[in-house]
Amino acid sequence: MKTPTALRFPSHSRDDETRRTSRVLEIIQMIAIAPRRWSRKRLSEHYEVSERMIQKDLKLIKYKLGLRLSHSREGYEFERTPHLPTTAYSFAEALALLTAARSAQTLPGVNSAELAAAIARLESIFPLEILPLLREATEQLPRRAVKVHRQTMLALLHRALAERRRVQILYATASRQGDVHPRVVEPYSLLPYGRSWYLIAFDHHRQTILQFKIDRVQEAEILDTVYTLPKDFDADAYLGDTWGMMRGADFKPEEVHLLFDATAGQWVSEENWHRSQEIEFLPDGQVRVRFFVGVTPEMVNWLLYYGERVLVEKPDWLRKEVREKHQRAVDNFQDI
């Protein structure tokens, strides 16, 4: 089979060409790994492009790259699996990469199906005999830094999200004494929050979109049934205007103005706490932060953390509540 020296695409912007090149290479790998799983329609939905564009990609693969591609009602497959380039790593290099990637899954701000896919792809290039040793080494990270069970659940759920496959889970509810119930869910998003991770998914038992704390998922199994992620789903819109992961109509959004001293203001300004956030740096070094948000108990606790470094300018009821909680904390120590 003759291998072209370069892929040539119609005249578009460099970014468009880069995205298409990446997509074509991914399609080759996806079909090679999972023959007859990917139809033109499923590829179109996965990449959120038209079926016509996918058809052009498939023609490029078949005719310009010369890969023997065939299809049935179930999907596409290669008549002969293409030889894809691999990268050679020493054991030490593999250990470093896998450790870094798995640790990154526990960090706030890392929320990517590509990360889990990269871990799986990295593992896939090693002989089967080595994998148990690699996994044992990378999963035995310090307990303070990572929970092995959480890592396992995150990797599985990221994979299910990437492949758009349903998952059966055993979930312990926060209420009802932690009763455990089986559920079949369709993952929509995985979000880090505080020191935890949350899954937003369509729950087939309740027939609605719910959120699940990853640490309460006791067991999980990826099913063969595929699903389509709604194009109009937006995690921010789902969570609404409330602070944190607490949804509900009881927390009506309102104007919240907070004045931080220079030190705390610098900390706060470096993070994105809510989609309505507005930051104002004052000449004296203080930082004013404005939100239009439903104030939840989580937000009150967040304010208490900053102590004397923050002043609640509005609303009045929130300033009063924070002051009263600080006063009760002082009272608790008076008799000691």
Q: Are residues 193 and 245 in the same domain?
A: no
**Averaged pLDDT, groups of 10, the chain, 336 residues long:** 43 57 81 85 88 89 83 84 58 63 55 62 64 59 57 83 90 74 91 78 91 89 91 81 63 90 90 85 94 87 92 94 91 75
Q: What is the pLDDT of residue 306?
A: 92
Q: Are residues 164 and 216 in the same domain?
A: yes
Pairing mode of beta strands 278-281, 287-294: antiparallel
Q: What is the pLDDT of residue 115?
A: 62
Tell me, yes or no, whether 85 lies in a domain. no
Sequence-separated contacts (24+) of 224-228 with Cβ below 8 Å: 224/165, 225/165, 225/166, 226/42, 226/163, 226/164, 226/165, 226/166, 227/164, 227/165, 227/166, 227/186, 227/202, 228/45, 228/164
Q: Which of 178, 208, 229 is the last residue of a domain?
A: 229
Other beta carbons within 10 Å of 102: 22
Tell me, yes or no, whether 169 lies in a domain. yes
Q: Which domain holds residue 304?
A: 240-334
Q: What is the pLDDT of residue 110?
A: 47
Q: Which of 28, 47, 78 is the last residue of a domain?
A: 78
Q: Which of 229, 263, 294 is the last residue of a domain?
A: 229
User: Domains in the chain: how many in total?
Assistant: 3
Tell me, yes or no, whether 2 lies in a domain. no
Q: Which of 22, 20, 190 lies closest to 110 in space, CA to CA?
A: 190
Q: What is the pLDDT of residue 334?
A: 74
Q: The dihedral of CA 31, 34, 40, 46: what is its sign?
A: negative
CATH code for the domain of 74: 1.10.10.10
* Three-class SS of the chain: CCCCCCCCCCCCCHHHHHHHHHHHHHHHHHHHHCCCCCCHHHHHHHHCCCHHHHHHHHHHHHHHCCCCEEECCCCEEECCCCCCCCCCCCHHHHHHHHHHHHHHCCCCCCCCHHHHHHHHHHHHCCCCCCHHHHHHHHHCCCCCCCCHHHHHHHHHHHHHHHHCEEEEEEEECCCHHHCEEEEEEEEEEEEEECCEEEEEEEECCCCEEEEEEHHHEEEEEEEEEECCCCCCCCHHHHHCCECCCCCCCCCCEEEEEEEECHHHHHHHHCCCCCCCCEEEECCCCCEEEEEEEECCHHHHHHHHHCHHHEEEEECHHHHHHHHHHHHHHHHHHHCC
Q: Are residues 246 and 297 in the same domain?
A: yes
pLDDT digits (tens, 9 = 90+) for 218-245: 999 999 999 998 888 888 777 777 776 6
Q: What is the pLDDT of residue 92?
A: 58
